Amino acid sequence: AQSVTQLGSHVSVSEGALVLLRCNYSSSVPPYLFWYVQYPNQGLQLLLKYTTGATLVKGINGFEAEFKKSETSFHLTKPSAHMSDAAEYFCAVSERDSNYQLIWGAGTKLIIKP
Amino acid sequence: KAGVTQTPRYLIKTRGQQVTLSCSPISGHRSVSWYQQTPGQGLQFLFEYFSETQRNKGNFPGRFSGRQFSNSRSEMNVSTLELGDSALYLCASSRQTGFGGEKLFFGSGTQLSVL
């Protein structure tokens, strides 16, 4: 069965430091991959997605993610963290074999230290 | 363009009662999905409707039901509420369904507390 694993329920970085949020998935066919962000008391918002083509995907707010098929990973990065990046981040995957139903990771809360 | 609107924003009910939550998708969007979000279980898929038909369903008991109207607005109903139903219920809309790359637009959710 499809699954999505996000390493670390909480990740803490200093302002200006590199942000790295990890996501691994299990899928037997090429998947569609997503990162969503949820700010406090709000719904989720799409950061970026991979469908086909270039494996390095750029999203909003300076975030990017790289699809690595050999590692079944889709890690999210940002070169320099900002206080406004404090939020919860969700990785999700969908594939044809599961009728494109989104499978979600458990989420990672990103904490930014001043 | 107005975003996804969920009403009410907060709801307090007691065990055994029933509740109906409403979701108005973005104009032109025909797919509406519902999710339950709790600190312990994360995001869990409830169901998806497209053109008034349920397209996908998650692993929730029959107490959870939904429907979609011809204008794409959707309602979710939970009968015989239990304490464990306390959660943030999120609605998301998209233009189409059945395509893996669809972007979901989420509402701010309805926070349901069951006492």
pLDDT 10s digits, B2-28 = 899 999 999 999 999 999 999 999 999
pLDDT 10s digits, A11-68 = 999 999 999 999 999 876 778 999 999 998 889 999 999 988 888 999 999 999 999 9
Instruction: Compute the count of residue pairs across chains A and B with CB atoms less than 8 Å apart.
Output: 50
| Other Cβ atoms within 10 Å of A71 Cβ, number | 10
Beta-bridge partners for A70: none
- The amino acid present at A80, given as its one-letter code, is S
Average pLDDT over residues A84-96: 92
CB contact under 8 A, B42 and A51: no
pLDDT of residue B108: 95
Point out the residue among A32, A43, A45 whose CB comes nearest to the CB of B100. Answer: A32
For chain B, the average pLDDT equals 93
CB contact under 8 A, B4 and A100: no
Query: Residue A92 in contact with residue A102, Cβ under 8 Å?
Result: yes
pLDDT of residue A75: 97
**A95: CB partners within 8 A, 6+ apart:** A2, A27, A29, A30, A31, A32, B100
SS3 content of chain B, % helix, strand, coil (to 5): 5, 50, 45
pLDDT of residue B11: 96
**Interface mutation vs chain A, best among B38, B106, B108, most A CBs within 10 Å:** B106
Q: Dihedral sign for Cα B108, A2, A19, A61, please.
A: negative
Per DSSP, the three-state class of B100 is: coil
> In angstroms, rounded to a whole number, what is the distance separating the alpha carbons of residues B35 and B48?
9
